[in-house]
Amino acid sequence: MEYFLPIAQVEINLLFIFGLSLVVGILSGLFGVGGGFLMTPFLIFLGIPPAYAVPNEASNILGTSVSGSTTHYLKGTLDYKMGLMIVVGGTIGTLLGILTFSYFKDIGKINVVISLAYMYILAILGTLMLIQGVSEIDKARKKIVVKKKLHTHYWIHGLPLRMRFKKSKLYESAFTPIIIGLVVGFIAAIMGVGGAFILVPAMIYIIGMPTKLIPGTSLFVTIFVSAIVTVLHAFNYGTIDLVLVFVLILGSIIGVQLGQKFGEKVDSSEFKTILAILLLLVGIAIAYDTFIKEEKIVETVINGSTSLGKIGEFILNYSKDLPIFYGLTSVILAVALGVGAAVIRNYFSKWNAAREAKLKAS
């Protein structure tokens, strides 16, 4: 099912993109990590320029984050106050990230910067996960139990302006979550990722939040950061493609739900090693694609064409004529799909619980 994207000006197979997003979503749900650092490189490999892959995946992350955050809201496992403090820093970081993105885009180096960022991040993240995965497997076989400190104090904990976070039962400096949010927002704006691979460990080891509140709060933060990234990219560069976003979100949301179900039934410790190897391979592939592979010149349609079709022409004209509303439309689309998926999942969960209760009663 080939389709010519009117914004990115490249031809892709929508069914293949959906399937790929579904698989990445399953991995995200299974391992509890964001899929942005996998999906964005895959989009680049499929011929979508990095400057377009980043904002469209950010919009995709927005949809999955809304879905997951709504689920946690219904369960009451979300610290709004802590989340909003991180969002304050995330907003500042996102704006700084967009300015950095604009600078490198203006000098024609943004594609190289994005590729290098992914290459190094995936190499570091993959190596750390590989070491951790192998270590967990070895300890499980030897039945070794290691006791860890619940909380370690760093310089950041000595900062002023302390406040109470009743939900997390913490007395913390407001600057701690703000600084963490700043780093996450900066990375999200440049790389099109949710930043969970930084945010989640920081919430555990630096902020010291209860484990049950971390996933929901992390997703809550990602909603705002991703929404800002999506709107700014749509307004400044016109790089959001609604068709691509819709397919990505649909595949990711379904995949995440399936991954979470699989995660309840299997031990993901052994699979973590496989994911780590996958990250390393993707990092190597990006390095090859950036520095070794010969660049192909692809002829594209510029400024629209009758071959785009009515939907393509509408999207192209809408993005040019009303960039702010176009960006908001992509946000609304992501939010609507995310909330819809969470509500449907909640409905079926209650239905299944009621059905099992009736079976036990009979």
pLDDT at 222: 82
Residue 314: inside a domain, yes or no? yes
- Asked whether the predicted pLDDT for residue 92 surpasses 90, the reply is yes
Please determine, for residue 117, whether its predicted confidence score (pLDDT) is greater than 50: yes
Least confident of 99-103, 117-121, 306-310, 331-335: 306-310
Over residues 8-33, mean pLDDT:
80
pLDDT in tens, 188-244: 888 766 666 678 778 877 787 887 788 778 888 888 888 888 778 777 777 888 888
| Residue with the two structure tokens 């790389």 | 191
Answer whether residue 362 is part of any domain. no
Q: Are 121 and 191 in contact (CB under 8 A)?
A: yes
Q: What is the mean pLDDT of the chain?
A: 77
Is there a domain that residue 298 lies in?
no
Does the residue 257 lie in any domain?
yes
Evaluate whether residue 299 is within a structural domain: no
- For 231-256, the pLDDT digits (tens) are 787 777 778 888 888 888 888 888 87
Determine the Cα–Cα distance for residues 293 and 297; give it in Å rounded to an integer.
13
| Inter-CA distances, 107 with 55, 100, 150, Å | 19, 11, 46
Contacts of 183 by beta carbon, 8 Å cutoff, 6+ apart: 89, 93, 195, 198
Q: How confident is the model at residue 298 (pLDDT cuts 50, 70, 90)?
A: very low
Range 116-140 average pLDDT: 75
pLDDT tens-digit map of 267-288: 555 566 666 777 777 778 777 7
Instruction: Check residue 300 and give its pLDDT.
Output: 46
CB-count exposure of residue 272 (10 Å: 0-12, 13-18, 19+): buried
Q: Check residue 294 and give its pLDDT.
A: 57
pTM here is: 0.71
* Inside any domain, residue 97: yes
Burial of 288 (0-12, 13-18, 19+ CB in 10 A): exposed
Residue span of the structural domain in which 121 resides: 2-292+305-356
Q: Is 361 inside a domain boundary?
A: no
- What is the pLDDT, as a whole number, of residue 299? 46
pLDDT at 170: 82
The count of residues in the chain is 362
Structural domain count, the chain: 1
Instruction: Confirm whether 57 is domain-assigned.
Output: yes
